[in-house]
Amino acid sequence: MEKSLELKLLELLSNNSRLEASELSVMLGVPEEEIRSAIGRLEKEKIICGYNTLIDWDKVHDDDVTAMVELRVTPQGGEGYDKIAEKISSFPQVDTLFLMSGSYDFLVTVRGRSIKEVSLFVSGKLAQIEEVQSTTTHFTLSKYKELGVLFKSKKTNERMLVSL
């Protein structure tokens, strides 16, 4: 499959991972077997790393808490940030981990059942990692958009129009 078609395939799957090979075949004008083969190869090469469902957890559990934690670290030895990232990502509370440029080194998304649970995790686990110099925790208050999906729709004005 040529690169431009492969990119279109990836874009379609990133917007809707539930599309069937038969649907993708029609959308891209490529034989279904070629679509299946391309997806298999992309999975094997870890270009497609998984298939996730985006859920608005606020509608399921109104008490869940998400926090963004900035970490400043001191990398040790020749392994640099990779060894620290391995430690941090091993915790089940860690949802996302990014190495960043700027005033801090890592951005960690942490999920928990309460502010206290997340706070105890940050102070008791993340801050206790030898290479961690400091943490700054930001608790999310409301989620409007994630992975390109809007969560809060624009509310219509329900007031009655009155004219004189």
User: What's the CA gap between 1 and 146, in Å, rounded?
Assistant: 31
Query: Is pLDDT above 70 for 147?
Result: yes
Digit-coded pLDDT (tens) for 4-56:
889 999 999 988 899 999 999 999 999 999 999 999 999 999 999 998 887 77
pLDDT band at 160 (very low <50, low <70, confident <90, very high): low
Digit-coded pLDDT (tens) for 77-108:
777 899 999 999 999 999 999 999 999 999 99
> Which tokens sit at 159?
């007031």
β-pair partners for 99: 106
Digit-coded pLDDT (tens) for 64-81:
899 999 999 998 777 789
> Worst-scoring range by mean pLDDT, 32-36, 59-63, 80-84, 113-117?
59-63
User: What's the CA gap between 57 and 146, in Å, rounded?
Assistant: 12
User: What's the CA gap between 34 and 56, in Å, rounded?
Assistant: 34
